[in-house]
Chain A
Amino acid sequence: MDLLPQLLIAGVVIGSVYALAALGFVLIYKSSRVINFAHGQIIATGAFIAFALTQKGVNFWLAGLIAMLATFLLGMLIERVFLRRMVGEPIIAVIMVTIGLSSVIDGLIHLTPYGAGTFGFERPALLTGQGIELFGLPLSKTQIAGVLMALGLLGGFTYFFNKSTLGITMRAVADDQMAAMSVGTSVERVFALAWAAAGLTAAAAGVILGLMSGLTLGGLAGIGLKVFPVVILGGLDSVVGAIVGGMLIGILENLSAGYLDGIVPGGGTREVFPFIILIIVLLIRPYGLFGTKEIERV
């Protein structure tokens, strides 16, 4: 039986998308301590912008880049207009603003013809044709390309954080806002950049997911919920955690689908298994695998 390696590979494929989605989520939390409930909707926005452009005849790759730029600006806009006013407000207020925003973006997408129904990208010429077979699991070229794109972006962002001045500035602000301000860092600019970068990675995740498994508003926005197990497992404020957590959740959810669906009546355990992991992690190790241990106990 090749079931185990097949499940592992399928897990890595979807896990790379989760990792990319979680990266943007973690970026926002790390710099500004905001839990972003609208992340799924930003992912959907990016994916549908890219799809609309390809419908107009724009090349797929170019459309993807434009979509990433658009959500880059959207992220900045959301931060500037809504979240900057909420600095210092209670957590519940900040959370509810992002929940409200998710509802607003949902409504805006429903105003376009893409709100209802299922769509699919037209495969670019590079990605058509026979894929490869790994352990008896057929992998299409789109899946391979999706994983490679996700891994490339993740690698690029990790490099950016560790080496570039801007990345180091962002880490400094995440570490200690007051200290970063005192050495002349603009905290506002870092917040805006974190949201912009989150928007950018969200669009990338949306486009890759759309390429691999089609575009529906519910499916794309649903990733915004799947992100929670990922970031809690990996650690809310850890970029490495987002990547590892994404892969782990992707693999675990496929393992549960492979081994538990036969036992549980009705199947479909992949929908719920990540959230059971979430609860277990919260009870045993709330700061996750790589997160900063800061949680208070009362």
Chain B
Amino acid sequence: MPASRFTQTGNYRTKYQQDQTIFATYAEQLSLIVLIGLLLLLPLILPKTMLRDVNMIMIYAVAVIGLNITTGYTGLINIGQAAFMGVGAYATALAATRLNLPFFLAIPIGGLAGALVGTFVGLPSLRLKYLYLAVATLAFQIIFEWGVGHTPLLAQGGAISLPQVQVLGVKATFFNHNFVWYYLILPVLVVMGLLWRNVLRTKHGRSLIAVRDNDRAAAAMGINPGTAKIMAFMIGSFYAGIAGGLFAYFQKAVVIEDYGLHISIQLLAMAIVGGLGSLPGSFLGPLFIVALDRIVGSGSQWLGSLNIFPAGVDAATALRPLSFGLAIVLFLMFEPRGLANWWRLSRLYFKKWPYKF
């Protein structure tokens, strides 16, 4: 036991149980509580337009945690996470509009639908590795988009609008929509994050990492790599389904464009920029990508007003993919461990301050 439970000056762990604790020190617990407290106050100071972006970041963070489970922790490349989100969103929309279920039942149904479809799509991972699996998930993404576009029940990809929700007597209206949803999304995100931290401590969570690092060695240790891979897809797409359900309510409607291939790529980019296989990275990645998009968006509005581009060129449509692509490429070339590594380094710096090492 360290002398103080607030600071950790070294590794005093003598039992596996201690090694498995979520929080090493009280300080970590305390900082999480303070962080959540600050986040609870955030909507009171943020302007309304930014609150909308923060909500989007949090929803994407849920999906990116899921993607990190399949791609980051288990090493199965998934170019169809947005399609799993879409499955969840459409399941939620159907549950809410056809079965008239309240949102706190409809969103978990979305998650379960995502998990179900994810398990099915994950089946080829028993036979396929790496590139081939990536191509298979890409095909699923395209088949999903086409399938929705041809199903009358799903409005053929058009908008299915969802009812406004009522929580604790507060009815979400046009004016406080983002505000209400902020307080609904935040707990979900926190729970999903803690849930993943918890799963990671169990043998199931660690078996995923073992399969990623060397599936033959994992098999030799008594892990069934096939089961582990299917489980990774199931958990990952459950997260995506929950994110999709939240997104459906948050956007007040389900449209196929919100779950297209470009969103899948965006989610992958978020996971990579944040740092593959890292929980803080799953929050930092979406934050970075959405912030970049907004900054470039307003920057190109300004550039557009300068009239330096030839006629017929919209600065925003050009600079958005340009900056997005550059961000991915530069991160991969110069900081493959992503923003999570910066986060880790800066934490270390402050922990050890004023000593350098």
Contact = CB atoms under 8 A, between A and B. Distances in A.
Interface of A: 35, 82, 85-86, 89, 91-93, 95-97, 99-108, 110-113, 115-117, 225, 228-229, 232, 236, 264-266, 268, 271-272, 275-276, 278-279, 282-283, 286, 295-298
Contacts of A296: 129
B268 A96 contact: yes
Interface string B139-181: 1101100110110100010000000000000000000000000
Contacts of A271: 142, 146
Main secondary structure of the interface of A (DSSP, over half): helix
Nearest to A91: B130
Contacts, number: 163
A95 B77 contact: yes
Q: Which 9 A-B pairs have the closest CB atoms?
A: A107-B322, A103-B325, A100-B328, A110-B318, A104-B325, A100-B329, A107-B321, A272-B146, A113-B312
A282 B135 contact: yes
Contact of A298 (B126, B131, B142, B268): B126
A22 to B, nearest CB: 13
Nearest to A108: B322
Given A92-B77, A116-B312, A275 B142 contact: yes
B328 A283 contact: no
B333 A82 contact: yes
Given A104-B321, A112-B313, A282 B124 contact: yes
Interface string B314-353: 1001111111111111001100100000000000000000
B191 to A, nearest CB: 28
Contacts of B147: 272
A228 B124 CA distance: 17
Given A91-B131, A100-B269, A298-B215, A113 B333 contact: no
Contacts of B59: none
A297 B128 CA distance: 7
Contacts of A108: 318, 322
Given A116-B314, A282-B136, A286-B128, A104 B332 contact: no
A275 B143 contact: yes
